[in-house]
Homo-oligomer: A and B are copies of this chain.
């Protein structure tokens, strides 16, 4: 697999391809052409072929792509078969929801532990995930392989906890707090879920549309 600096835009489309391929599998469809796929995703056939060709030729001329084969290829490109391990920090409302409802294993990730400061949570377990005290964080990271820290702590705890994680040598943070962690300082990977950014974008698009309708 060549990894010669594939652009962000391409990477962000790969999970959508995967999701679409899963939908096709469920619908019993086992082959698809780039033009059908493009139609269903609102993309041009060229773009899909161009994207996939960053990683190799997965299709067959005159035929298209095998749905299950392409699905496996994309899963591998995304690292779903690498057995990454995650811990979750901050079992508040959103952390709780993730532990209970988000199926990490569907995406090849194992959630191995959770951490919180609230004594009534420590020692219990949720959906099979044990909850430890924040005091045990460093020791746990020393003794267990962890690739991803899921950050679901309150706003004020975001930066201090991030510093502890970085000091403990964590590689990647999945950030659900509304704090901008991406500083130029450390080289930890940060992937953000900013609810508010998303809602504000939607708010913009609604406003744009209404203004257009006004003008007409």
Stretch of A59-67, A102-110, A117-125 that contacts chain B:
A102-110
Specify which chain B residues have a CB less than 8 angstroms from the CB of A47 in the assembled complex: none
How close is A120's CB to chain B, nearest CB, in angstroms? 18
Specify which chain B residues have a CB less than 8 angstroms from the CB of A106 in the assembled complex: 196
CA distance A82 to B206 in the complex (A): 10
Interface of A is mostly: helix
Residue from the list B79, B205, B209 in contact with A191, Cβ < 8 A: B205
A167 interface residue per 8 A CB criterion? no
A164 interface residue per 8 A CB criterion? no
Q: A147-B206, A189-B209 are in contact. Are A78 and B39 (CB under 8 A)?
A: no
Interface residue tally of chain A, by bracket? 35 or more
A82's closest neighbor in chain B, by CB? B207
Q: Is the CB of B207 within 8 A of A79?
A: yes
Specify which chain B residues have a CB less than 8 angstroms from the CB of A209 in the assembled complex: 171, 189
Q: A10-36, CB under 8 A of B: which get 1 and which 0? A: 011011101110010000000000000
How close is A165's CB to chain B, nearest CB, in angstroms? 14
Q: A97-B93, A97-B96, A108-B203 are in contact. Are A19 and B79 (CB under 8 A)?
A: no
A187's closest neighbor in chain B, by CB? B209
